[in-house]
Copies of this chain bind each other. A is one copy, B any other.
Amino acid sequence: KALPRSAMELRCQCIGTHSKFIHPKFIHNVNLIPSGPHCKNVEVIATLTDGREVCLEPTAPWVKLVIKAILDK
């Protein structure tokens, strides 16, 4: 659900968010994009170990936990 993007893209990257839990072991990296003039939404884009990119909901408790788990490991 992530549109193609570059680091300096000037619009929202996500057209929806993936709602189901994704185990951190399947997450290759997570990109956090603050809201700003380019997009009113905070965007959280996970690249999975199989190469897929999925947008996650920044307010979802499991997303916050996964981010915390990555930082604390």
Contacts and interface: CB of A to CB of B under 8 A. Distances in A.
Interface of A: 7-8, 24, 27-35, 42, 44, 47, 51, 58-59, 63-64, 67, 70-71, 73
Given A58-B71, A64-B71, A73-B42, A31 B29 contact: yes
- Closest A-B pairs by Cβ, 10 of them: A30-B32, A29-B33, A34-B70, A31-B31, A58-B71, A32-B70, A7-B47, A29-B31, A42-B73, A35-B73
A28 B42 contact: no
Nearest to A27: B34
Contacts of A51: 7-8
Contacts of A73: 34-35, 42
